[in-house]
Amino acid sequence: MTKNALPQKKKKEIKGTPVPTYMITFADMMTLLLVFFVLILSFSTMEVERFRAISMALQNSFGFQMMNPLNLIPVDNPPRTENIIAPIKPEPPTTENTGMENQLDALGNRLQTNFVDEIERGLIIVEQDEDHIIIRFPDDSAFGSASDWLEPQMVPIIQRVGDLISEFEMYVIVGGHTDNIPIHTERFRSNWELSTARAISVAHELTWMSDLNEEYLYVVGNGDARPLATNATPEGRARNRRVEILLMERDLTEEREVFQGIQQIPTYR
């Protein structure tokens, strides 16, 4: 051995058994298989429609056709749904929950309390259901025979009604009605014209002293087409001669339903 020769380094001894290189690939494959089986398990308890939407979104995002795992689910073994809790849908607030009256109920209560004397005397009739309010003025208290001139006692009453209605957001339909006895005078050629003229007289008084929005006011002449009672008796004909105010809430009623509401007024059949 020469002086210039360098001493050779001793190799470090590796303790334990060396790991074969193929184990790294094997470990990766086992991890991927575990992930695959976890996904299959999640698909078996997943809503099919929801997964189909996710699958289509992934296909569009990656730009290639993916294998559809839905095909792996047997048709005779659909996903289990017995443990899926349906979402609770919130119920719309009601007057019982909020402690507040809707406009229709509030207006109906005001009419009943503000016109107690007039209702008892039969000058006006107030009827209400869940969709609308009807204020009825009988012919024998509001108009003379074959006339569209309001009786003096009714003018302030109708003006008070208009002032009260103007406080609420309502569609207001004023409809005139007659019995089936034909009329032909210098002023009115038919019951249609008489019923329309009477409705116009009431509409004028409704808006005369109030801030009632005329954009939502309708005037209708029905003639004898919509009777409340039979026209075969004097009592029935007297009931049929009247002017009615139909009230419907604007925030709950579309304009096209106003005309449907006119047809839904209870009538004699």
List, for residues 248-265, the tens digit of each pLDDT value: 998 877 766 676 656 555
83 domain-assigned: no
Residue 70 has pLDDT above 50, yes or no: no
Domain with 236 in it: 95-263
Residue 179 is predicted with a pLDDT of 94
Kind and range of the H or E element at 182? Answer: none
| Domain boundary, last residue among 72, 104, 133 | 72
Residue 97 has pLDDT above 50, yes or no: no
Residue 66 has pLDDT above 60, yes or no: no
Residues 173 and 215 occupy one common structural domain: yes
Residues 36 and 142 occupy one common structural domain: no
CATH of the domain at 151: 3.30.1330.60
Residues 229 and 141 occupy one common structural domain: yes
Position 169 confidence tier, pLDDT thresholds 50, 70, 90? very high
156 domain-assigned: yes
Residue 189 is predicted with a pLDDT of 93
176 domain-assigned: yes
Q: Please say whether the beta carbons of 44 and 62 come within 8 A.
A: no
- Strands 217-221 and 170-177 turn out to be parallel
Residues 124 and 237 occupy one common structural domain: yes
Helix axes 154-165, 103-114, angle to 10 degrees: 150
Retrieve residue 50's tokens: 């929801």
Residues 130 and 252 occupy one common structural domain: yes
| Domain boundary, last residue among 39, 72, 105 | 72
The whole-model pTM stands at 0.61
206 domain-assigned: yes
Residue 269 has pLDDT above 50, yes or no: no
The residue that leads in pLDDT, 8 or 207, is: 207
The residue that leads in pLDDT, 114 or 13, is: 114
Q: Please say whether the beta carbons of 218 and 173 come within 8 A.
A: yes
Mean pLDDT, rounded, for 33-42:
80
Tell me the three state secondary structure of residue 117.
helix
Tell me the three state secondary structure of residue 41.
helix
| Domain boundary, last residue among 72, 107, 135 | 72
Mean pLDDT, rounded, for 129-149:
92
Sheet hosting strand 125-128, strand order edge to edge: 125-128, 133-138, 242-249, 170-177, 217-221
Could you give the CA distance from residue 189 to residue 184 in angstroms, rounded to a whole number? 5
| Count of the separate structural domains present in the chain | 2
Residues 35 and 101 occupy one common structural domain: no
Residues 125 and 213 occupy one common structural domain: yes
Residues 100 and 60 occupy one common structural domain: no
User: What are the beta bridge partners of residue 243?
Assistant: 137, 176
